[in-house]
Amino acid sequence: MGLIKAALAAGSSTLADQWLEYIYCERMEDNVLMRKGVSKKEGSNTKGTDNIITNGSKIVVGEDQFLIVVSDGKIVDFTAEAGQYTFDQGTEPSMFYGGFGKGLIESFKKFGERFTTGGVAPHDQRVYFVNTRLIKGNKFGTTTPIPFRDSEFGMTVDIRCYGEYVMEITDPLAFYHSYGGNIEEDYVIDENFKETFLADFLQALNPALNKVAMQKISYDMLPGAVPEISKAVKECLQDTWGSQGINVERVSIASATPTEESAEVIKAAQGDRLYAMNPAMQGARANAAASEALKTAAGNEAGAMTGFMGVGMLNQGGAMFGANMSNQSQSQVGMDSMNVVGGGIQTPEEKEEKVDGVKCPNCGNIITGNFCMECGTKKPEEEKEKFCTNCGEKATSNAKFCINCGTQL
C-alpha cells in the first residue's frame, strides 16, 4: 500500500501506469532498420504516461526481430528469440541472445547496464525492435577505375565494375548505440544512409579486390568469385561497419570491364601470346607486316629501294620461319637425300663429279679403269702439260710448235 500511496503523491497519471500493457511491433518493411514498440493499454484506462512500461506487461517479439529494452537511455535487457515475454522490473535481465552468439554479452557489458529496481519504475523506459533480415538491393558502381593486378597476363589493368551488395545487422546492440539512440520514429534507409554506406563500401572494395587478385583470379572471372569477394570486403570493413554492428553478407559483381587504354594493352598481350603459340600465324604476321611495308615503300619515292629490300627480307624471313616450323619433317627428308662435305651441302650429281676418273667420250660414264664399264671404250690418255722453252707459253701435249712465238717444241 505504501507504494500505491507514494505513487498517488507523484501525480494523477501514475495510477494509469499501473495498468498492464501489450507491446508489439508489426513486420517491418525492408527499408526500416529499427522501430519503437507500439504500446496498447489493457483494460479501460488508456491515460498512461509515455515511455513507462508497467511491471508485468507483455512484450511480443516476432521472427526477424531483435528486442532491446532501454531505461533512461541505457540498454537493460534484450532478446533475439521470438515469443511472448513478461516485463519484470524486479529481476535480472533475461538476455536471450538466440542465434547471434555470446558476443552480444560483451556488447551489453560495453553499452548496457544491469539493474534491479525492486518494482519502482525508472523515469524513462522504451522498447525497440531491430530488423534482422538481410538488407538487399544496395547497388554500387565505381566512378573511377580501380587498379587490378591481373594474374592471367601478369600486369595491372584499370577496371570499372558495378553490382550489388547485401548487408545485415549482426550486432543489434552496437547498431543501436551507433545509430539508434532514443528515436521516436522509424529509423529507415534514406539517401544519407545510402551515401554514407556506399562511400565506405567503395573505399573497402579496392583493397578487397587486391586480396582477390592474390588468389590468381583474373579480372574477367570476378563476376563468378562471389564467395572470395564477399569475404575480402567483409574483412576490409571490419574496423568500420563491424564495430557498428553491420557486416556485408554477400557481394556480387555483375560486370567488370577494363578501360579503353587497358583494353588495348590486353588485346596486344593476347595477340602476342596467340602468335607465340602458333608458328604458322607468326609467318602470316610477318607477311602482313611486309605487305604494309610495301605500301609504305610504294608511296615513298626517296626510300623506295630501301623499302623493297626490307620487304624482300621480311618476306623471306617470314616464309622461311613459317615453312621451317610447319614443315620440319619435310626438311628432314630433304636433308637425308643430301650429303654434307666440308661444311657445305652437296647434291648426288656434285658428289659424282668429284669421283676420280675420266669421262668416257662415247657414253659419258666415268672411267676409273682402262676401259669404260658401260660401252667398253678405251680410256683416253690424259693430256700432259707442256711449256714453250722460248717464251714459256703453255701448250698441249701433242702440239709441235708454240702458238705464241713459233718455236718448235
**Paired sense of beta strands 58-61 and 21-24, if any:** parallel
| Same domain assignment for residues 369 and 320 | no
| Same domain assignment for residues 51 and 168 | no
Which tens digit of pLDDT belongs to each residue from 315-336?
Answer: 555 445 444 544 544 444 444 4
CA dist., res. 215 & res. 221, Å (int): 12
CA dist., res. 186 & res. 176, Å (int): 13
pLDDT at res. 129:
94
Question: Does 402 fall in a domain?
Answer: yes
Question: Does 343 fall in a domain?
Answer: no
| Same domain assignment for residues 153 and 68 | no
C-alpha cell at 279: 608458328
Please determine, for residue 35, whether its predicted confidence score (pLDDT) is greater than 90. Answer: yes
Cα 111 to Cα 74, 98, 211, 242: the distances in Å are 7, 19, 34, 15
Question: Does 352 fall in a domain?
Answer: no
CA dist., res. 106 & res. 238, Å (int): 17
CA dist., res. 325 & res. 280, Å (int): 8
Cα 96 to Cα 66, 78, 110, 234, 345: the distances in Å are 10, 7, 17, 26, 95
Burial class (CB in 10 A: 0-12, 13-18, 19+), 170: buried
Q: Which residue has the higher pLDDT, 186 or 399?
A: 186
Among candidate residues 175, 368, 157, the one with its CA nearest the CA of residue 257:
157
Question: Does 366 fall in a domain?
Answer: yes
For 403, half-sphere exposure in the C-beta direction (CA atoms, 13 angstrom radius) is 8
Total tally of structural domains belonging to the chain: 4
| Same domain assignment for residues 111 and 42 | yes
Q: How many CB atoms lie within 10 A of CB 354?
A: 8
Residue-by-residue DSSP string for 51-91: T-PPTT-EEEE-TTEEEEEEETTEEEEEE-S-EEEE--TTS
CATH code, domain carrying 196: 3.30.479
For 293, half-sphere exposure in the C-beta direction (CA atoms, 13 angstrom radius) is 19
Q: Pick the range with the lowest mean pLDDT from 2-11, 148-157, 345-354.
A: 2-11
Question: Does 100 fall in a domain?
Answer: yes
Cα 360 to Cα 26, 290, 382: the distances in Å are 122, 52, 12
Among candidate residues 211, 219, 223, 215, the one with its CA nearest the CA of residue 251:
223
| Same domain assignment for residues 249 and 294 | no
CA dist., res. 402 & res. 315, Å (int): 57
In terms of residue numbers, what domain contains 144?
A: 135-262
Please determine, for residue 337, whether its predicted confidence score (pLDDT) is greater than 70. Answer: no
Contact 283, 315 (CB under 8 A): no
Please give the mean pLDDT across all residues of the chain.
74
Domain boundary residue among 99, 131, 163? 131
CA dist., res. 402 & res. 386, Å (int): 10
Please determine, for residue 46, whether its predicted confidence score (pLDDT) is greater than 70. Answer: no
Q: How confident is the model at residue 405 (pLDDT cuts 50, 70, 90)?
A: confident
Q: Pick the range with the lowest mean pLDDT from 96-105, 321-330, 353-362.
A: 321-330
Question: Does 330 fall in a domain?
Answer: no
Please determine, for residue 306, whether its predicted confidence score (pLDDT) is greater than 80. Answer: no
Which tens digit of pLDDT belongs to each residue from 188-225?
Answer: 988 888 888 999 999 999 999 999 999 999 999 999 99
Q: How confident is the model at residue 101 (pLDDT cuts 50, 70, 90)?
A: low
Contact 363, 377 (CB under 8 A): yes
| Same domain assignment for residues 247 and 150 | yes
Please determine, for residue 254, whether its predicted confidence score (pLDDT) is greater than 80. Answer: yes
